[in-house]
């Protein structure tokens, strides 16, 4: 039995932990698609601030794709998990092949979710970066690198579930970490949800469309 019924409930609970940021000017919620979008949508809705996506792709180990050996983001940003790479003896060619495939998917998602619209400008804004959970941390680190290049005023990472050790490490990279659950030992994120069914591209596009309207209120 998971701690959260589904991503929507997790998002509502997370929003309450961030309620002091409600209606703040120059505040933006960024979601990691796809699973982070339903969580982030509830946060953005409750705080009444705009929602956008930060598109990052995990580099899964061939044959064990859930295990991340790194991640890539737009703008030629890459983060490698050398603990995993060295432990499994993964070669450079394998990493490059997976990265090339994931780059195609990253570009596809960018077109699918945004169309011709440009990302919301985050320079000098407070950014709340949201996902449905953190396992190895590779994906969130690639997102943090991407966001920092755009010089936000403040960067907050908000997640329903993340290992305590990862939260401690990320505190050195961002201004604030908000995690509802931070167990010492953690395996799959899905074990913390009763319903962890996959979020579809269509759901992401619809939630983004609704979420972008928040700033117009």
Extents of the domains making up the chain? 7-56+121-216
Residue-level pLDDT at 90: 96
Res. 217 pLDDT band, cuts 50 70 90: very low
Tell me what the mean pLDDT of segment 102-126 comes to.
88
d(CA 193, CA 204): 19
Tell me what the mean pLDDT of segment 204-213 comes to.
86
CATH of domain 7-56+121-216: 3.40.50.2020
Tell me what the mean pLDDT of segment 31-40 comes to.
96
Residue 23 sits at φ, ψ, to 5 deg, of 65, 15
pLDDT at 142 over 50: yes
Average pLDDT in the chain: 91
Q: What is the DSSP string of the chain?
A: --SBSSHHHHHHHHHHHTGGGTT-TTEEEEE-TTTHHHHHHHHHHHHT--EEE--EEEEEETTEEEEEEEEEETTTEEEE-HHHHHHHT--HHHHHHHHHHHHHHHHHHHHHHHTTPPPPP-TTSEEEEE-S--SSSHHHHHHHHHHHTT--SEEEEEEEE--HHHHHHHTTTSSEEEEEE--SS---GGGGBS--PPPPHHHHHHHHHHHHGGGG-
d(CA 42, CA 35): 13
To the nearest 10°, report the CA torsion of 27, 6, 33, 70. Answer: 110
pLDDT at 1 over 50: no
Tell me what the mean pLDDT of segment 68-76 comes to.
85
pLDDT at 216 over 80: no
| Least reliable range by pLDDT among 111-125, 151-165, 177-191 | 111-125
Tell me what the mean pLDDT of segment 43-71 comes to.
91
């Amino acid at each position: 039995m998971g701690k959260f019924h589904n991503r929507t409930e997790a998002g509502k609970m997370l929003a309450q932990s961030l309620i002091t940021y409600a209606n703040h000017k120059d505040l933006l919620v960024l979601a990691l698609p796809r699973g982070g979008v339903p969580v982030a949508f509830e946060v953005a809705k409750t705080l009444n601030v705009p929602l956008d996506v930060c598109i990052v792709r995990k580099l899964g180990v061939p044959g064990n794709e859930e295990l991340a050996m790194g991640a890539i983001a737009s703008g030629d940003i890459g983060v490698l998990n050398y603990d995993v790479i060295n432990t499994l003896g993964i070669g450079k060619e394998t990493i490059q092949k997976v990265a090339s495939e994931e780059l195609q998917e990253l570009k596809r998602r960018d077109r699918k979710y945004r169309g011709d619209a440009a990302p919301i400008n985050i320079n000098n804004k407070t950014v709340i970066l949201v996902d449905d959970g953190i396992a190895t941390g590779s994906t969130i680190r690639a997102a943090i690198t991407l966001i920092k290049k755009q010089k936000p005023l403040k960067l907050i990472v908000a997640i329903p579930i993340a290992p305590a050790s990862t939260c401690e490490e990320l505190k050195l990279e961002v201004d604030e970490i908000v995690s509802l659950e931070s167990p010492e030992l953690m395996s799959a994120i899905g074990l913390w949800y009763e319903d962890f069914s996959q979020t579809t591209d269509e759901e992401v596009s619809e939630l983004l469309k609704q979420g972008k309207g928040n700033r117009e209120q």
